[in-house]
Amino acid sequence: TTTPIKVAVTGAAGNIGYSLLFRIASGALFGPEQPVELRLLEITPALKALEGVVMELDDSAFPTLAGVQIGDDPNTVFDGVNHALLVGARPRGPGMERGDLLEANGGIFAPQGKALNDHAADDVKVTVTGNPANTNALIAQSNAPDIPASRFSALTRLDHNRAIAQLAAKTGATVADIKKMTIWGNHSATQYPDLFHAEVKGQNAAQLVNDQEWLEGTYIPTVAKRGAAIIDARGASSAASAASATIDHARDWQLGTADGDWVSMAVPSDGSYGVPEGLISSFPVTISGGEWSIVQGLDIDDFSRGKIDASVKELEDERETVKKLGLL
């Protein structure tokens, strides 16, 4: 029999968790032949709700689900995990400043980084979905000195998928026709979806669209503000698509990207494209053998340069704030 892959999910009783766990357990993450074991972390008051979710997992009788453990101590829950999907985070409350938000999340992601450092499997891969995702990932990474920095990432795959969907709608193509989409920078309103390297049926997307006004005035803001549009329509946040993107991200990291394509992932910068080293910023990456590499040699024009620099500047400011708080 195949050894189960151990997958930790934090904030497992939340909205994203409610969609994510069933996808993982049903084989959507690593395929129908690969058993998975779930390790679910919650804060103490949410453990009862989590027990209810586990009852539903039991009742789904998923053949690929090899076991479930739950708890409120990351040192126990993260023991031996191969993937850690860090979804639980502190949402911004009324009147909360950005510094307060970063501090509250530091109280979550610093101890989780330490627990991963001390207890996770040697091959652990960490994906941060909980916001502010890039800086939460940076906090976890810098509290895990024994894990290679390259094993820490933040999710920009939902932005990537939204960017593909909007481009498909504009060009009348299918999402499968679109390759080489890139989200650069921070998972925030400053993110930059780049059409200058994307392709629609092999044709350059920016040239095909040939409408800078649409790009700046409609496309970029629609992608960046999609979360708010969904809250407005549904009265609740976009949890199912966030869960689906988390699956896409972790699956491709484990199994690799397709030939002739790449994906967007926020990963520690090596200085590529002028992004300061160590910042966890979104790049185009290819993945093979469980290791990502940043796509090199893309031409960045002045428009793109300005957009990337603005988002990276925001990440530098966030890093400065958490450094001052002693979280790095």
Kindly state whether residue 106 participates in binding ligand NDP, applying the rule CB under 6 A: no
> Out of 130, 185, 193, 284, which residue is the one contacting ligand NDP (CB under 6 A)?
130
Binder of ligand NDP out of 91, 148, 221, 260 (CB under 6 A): 91
For ligand NDP, the nearest residue by Cβ is: 14
Q: Give 283's Cβ-side CA count (13 Å radius).
A: 25
90 is in an annotated binding site: no
Q: How far apart are CA 8 and CA 30, in angstroms?
A: 14
Residue 193 makes contact with ligand NDP by CB under 6 A:
no
As beta bridge partners, residue 153 has 127
Residue 156 makes contact with ligand NDP by CB under 6 A: no
Interface stretch with ligand NDP, choices 84-92, 166-174, 217-225, 252-260 (CB under 6 A) = 84-92
* DSSP letter, residue 214: H
Q: Which residue in 83, 160, 187, 249 is the catalytic one?
A: 187
H or E segment at 179? Answer: strand 178-179
The radius of gyration of the chain from alpha carbons, rounded to an integer in Å, stands at 19
Do the strands 36-41 and 5-10 form a parallel or antiparallel pair, or are they unpaired?
A: parallel
Q: Which of 295, 307, 318 is nearest to 99 (CA)?
A: 318
Q: How far apart are CA 265 and CA 314, in angstroms?
A: 17
136 is in an annotated binding site: no
Q: What are the Cα distances from residue 195, in Å, to 36, 81, 200? A: 37, 37, 10
131 marked as binding residue: yes
With contacts defined by CB under 6 A, how many residues of the chain interact with ligand NDP?
A: 26
Contact between 85 and 10 under an 8 Å Cβ cutoff? The reply is yes
Stretch of 94-102, 119-127, 237-245, 289-297 contacting ligand NDP, by CB under 6 A? 237-245
Per-residue binding string, ligand NDP, 36-75, x by CB under 6 A, is: -----xxx--x-----------------------------
CB atoms within 10 A of CB 106: 22
Identity of the residue, 10 or 142, whose beta carbon is nearer to ligand NDP in the bound complex: 10
Q: What are phi and psi of 70, to 5 degrees?
A: -125, 160
Min. distance of Cβ 53 from ligand NDP in angstroms? 10
**Closer Cβ to ligand NDP, 82 or 105, answer by number:** 105
119 is catalytic: no
Residue 143 touches ligand NDP, criterion: CB under 6 A: no
CB of 68 to ligand NDP, least distance (A): 15
Count helices and strands (H / E) in the chain: 12, 14
Interface with ligand NDP (CB under 6 A), residue from 7, 65, 79, 88:
88
Does 108 belong to an annotated binding site? no
List Cβ neighbours of 194 (8 Å cut-off, separation of 6 or more): 181, 182, 183, 184, 304
Contact between 252 and ligand NDP by CB under 6 A: the answer reads no
Residues numbered 276-315 forming contacts with ligand NDP, rule: CB under 6 A: none
With the C-alpha atoms ordered 39, 283, 308, 194, is the resulting torsion angle positive or negative?
Answer: negative
Q: Please identify which residue in 128, 242, 279, 285 interacts with ligand NDP, judged by CB under 6 A.
A: 242
Indicate the Cα dihedral angle 257, 262, 264, 270, nearest 10°: 100
Tell me the two tokens of residue 315: 């990440």
Q: Is 183 annotated as a binding residue?
A: no
Determine whether the annotation assigns residue 11 to a binding site: yes
Chain positions contacting ligand NDP, by CB under 6 A = 10-11, 13-17, 41-43, 46, 87-91, 108, 129-131, 158, 227, 237-239, 242
Known binding residues for NAD(+) are: 11-17, 105, 112, 129-131
Residues marked as catalytic: 187
Known binding residues for substrate are: 92, 98, 131, 162
